[in-house]
Amino acid sequence: MTLPRRYQNIAPLLRWSCISWMLLLRLAGQMMDDNNGTVTVTGFVPSTIPLTRGRSRPLSKMGPFLSTFGTSGLATSSMPTKLFLHAGALPLTRAATSPHSSFFLTRIVLIRGMAFVYMVAFWIAFQQNKGLIGDTGIAPARAVLDAAQNRGVQNRKRREEWLRLQIQNSCNNCNQQSSGTRAAKSAVETTLASTRRMKLFLRRQTMTLQLHPTIQKWRERLYDRQNGRQRPVSTIFWIAKDRSKLNPWLDRVALLGFFLSIATLVTGSSNVPILLVMWICQRSLMAVGGPFYAYGWEPQLAELNFHMLFLVPLISLDPLGTTCPPSPIVMFTIRWYLCRIMLGAGLIKIKSRDPKWRWPQLSAMDYFYETQPIPNPLSKYFHWMPHWCHRGEVMVNHFVELIAPLLLLLPSISARRWGGIIQIAFQAVLVTSGNLSFLNWLTAVPAIACLDDGILGPLLFSQSWQEKAVQAASLSWHRYTRSVCSVLFGILIAFLSIPVIRNLSSRKQLMNGSFGPWGLVNTYGAFGNVNEERNELIISATTSVDAPWKEYEFKAKPGNVHRYPIFLSPFHLRLDWQMWIASLMGGIDRSPWVCLLMYRILQKDPEVMKLLAHDPFSEGEERPRYIRIDRYRYSFSREGKKRYWDREMVGRVYPKQGVASAEDLEALIELSSN
């Protein structure tokens, strides 16, 4: 075939474009197909390739070149000359796809898994946020907003002063360059001086533009308003006019995310706007949550949603999403996300100074089940297993967290599958042994990305759905924009992962943290140190000094030695968990929110009292006047005893002497706030 005259000038460009598409096709075939699968080209592939001006060569005569693609690469006999001019479609599509290389059904399971975790998280927020960060809560959200706004004003003033100083220096340099230009004798010197003047002028104009009131206003709202860690407090609660009445806002945000997650869970489909709204709702709560949202699984959930934004269709709510096939790049970034989680958890144990994780002790699991944040009814039986079994658990833990994650990144389908199955099974064991909130459920979700339609189809879907997935894989087509977005997303994740990799390879590894202002890619870790004893803070109050002291019971935290633990996971009691962290901190100096908790208890605040198991002072009884905190050492009781726990008092935490009243707590709260 001879090209028309008007296209002959671009023959070399067309030739190398065709060759480039063939190379990309071969690479995609190696990444996505099974070892025995084949890839057939149907679409924008010509039967001849233009070689020189006015000449062309049939593909059937390019044997030496095509041999480099292998027998499963390009089948010239199956190349139709008909062109499919799908608007916005990439030139290459699949005509026959193995279920082992498609992820249409996998994406449905991934979406539902993340929606389930979101549903639990938003329901927890709706149930507990008013008592935790509400208007009369333990750590009010308005305090976070007020502090961030004050920092924003200060940052804006400092930035304006710095910009004006830079503009003044730029003007002085520009004047010097002008005098240098006039004194220049050669044409080269004149050109260089003019170039420097132009650069200074453009820089001065850019800084002047940054001083525009509108730009300064939006920069302050989006970036300058920061928390104590100098991270932007990005939340939709900034639009609330009255910050003293944030309870309705907290409920609306939680309910919006809750109902969207339920709809996503039921339908198994989602799109970018829905996931973006859920992401904004969760990030808004994280920004004002204070210590009750400072856990590692909060940014972990937000990062998973960030990955899923590039996996779901833009607008369509079709569960299979034929017009938007799952991107192999995004599927790989999700597996890389899981790999970082597990490697971070494993490396933090090896690098910690706790010898119980190392050889030859390997005794961490001898204490873990008893000292974990919130045990469940089976924790006691796990604890009393023989020592050799606990040593084996430590070795298995190191294998799952240090070696098995590497399987997630291998190109082999079998290795990838086994890597995902190992991680899911490991998280299932952790769920049965303790109440670790929704952390284990959340960690198991990205492992689904290791299982393709060939595994999940027969297990979770009917035959008709499997057939639809095969048809979708064979008929789907890629959009240019979507493919470019996937490539750019992969580059972004690779760039943001550089500080994470440095942290994982450093000796002083950060356990849970982010290295960017928005926390898009983070580093994770858990239980780098395991305590050998379990200490609990017990709060008690009385109506008078001579009256008996009554203890306050929490919903899941150990208190009454005769009360058995409950199965709680994936539900999360944030106050109970934070009380466990406060007991590890020592006193209340490093947990100032405890003072406000005691003050709310003395006031019998209804929202705060809902966070407790019960109020020992009935409604008709006098309100308590004095309160204290004691430290007790808890341990699992031996078999044959009627009580579940054994405990002994260690000492007084607050106050060190005497008792504390509401007036004492008010003075302490005011002092800590200043």
pLDDT averaged over every residue in the chain: 82
Question: What is the residue-wise DSSP string for 24-47?
Answer: HHHHHHHHHS-TT----B-SS--S
- Token pair of 565 as six digits: 């633990």
Say which amino acid occupies 491: I
**What pLDDT digit, counting tens, does each position of 50-60 carry?**
444 344 444 44
Going by C-alpha positions, the residue among 107, 116, 104 that lies closest to residue 442 is 116
Helix (H) or strand (E) holding 654: strand 645-654
pLDDT at 100: 62
Q: What are phi and psi of 390, to 5 degrees?
A: -65, -35
pLDDT at 227: 81
CA distance linking residue 61 with residue 6, whole number of Å: 26
pLDDT at 471: 78
CA distance linking residue 138 with residue 135, whole number of Å: 9
CA distance linking residue 150 with residue 148, whole number of Å: 5
Going by C-alpha positions, the residue among 124, 118, 442, 431 that lies closest to residue 292 is 124
Name the packing angle between helices 11-32 and 328-351 (round to 10°).
50
Counting every residue, how long is the chain? 674
pLDDT at 189: 64
CA distance linking residue 570 with residue 441, whole number of Å: 7
103 near 326, Cβ under 8 Å?
yes
Residue 292 vs residues 48, 144, 267: alpha-carbon distances, Å: 65, 13, 31
The answer for residues whose C-beta is within 8 angstroms of residue 376's C-beta and 6 or more apart is: 432, 433, 434, 435, 565, 566, 567, 568, 569
Q: What are phi and psi of 528, to 5 degrees?
A: -65, -30
Name the H helices within 224-327: 247-267, 272-288, 297-308
The CA-based diameter of the chain, rounded to the nearest angstrom, is 107
pLDDT at 99: 61
CA distance linking residue 667 with residue 673, whole number of Å: 10
Other C-beta atoms within 10 Å of 94: how many?
27
pTM of the model: 0.81
CA angle 268, 328, 281 (to 5 degrees): 45
Q: How many CA atoms lie within 13 A of 568 on its CB side?
A: 25
CA distance linking residue 221 with residue 231, whole number of Å: 12
- Token pair of 653 as six digits: 């935490």
Residue 304 vs residues 87, 363, 456: alpha-carbon distances, Å: 31, 33, 20
- Token pair of 33 as six digits: 């197909």
Positions of the chain with pLDDT lower than 70, given as ranges = 1-100, 170, 172-194, 196-197, 200-201, 204-205, 474-479, 620, 674
pLDDT at 468: 83
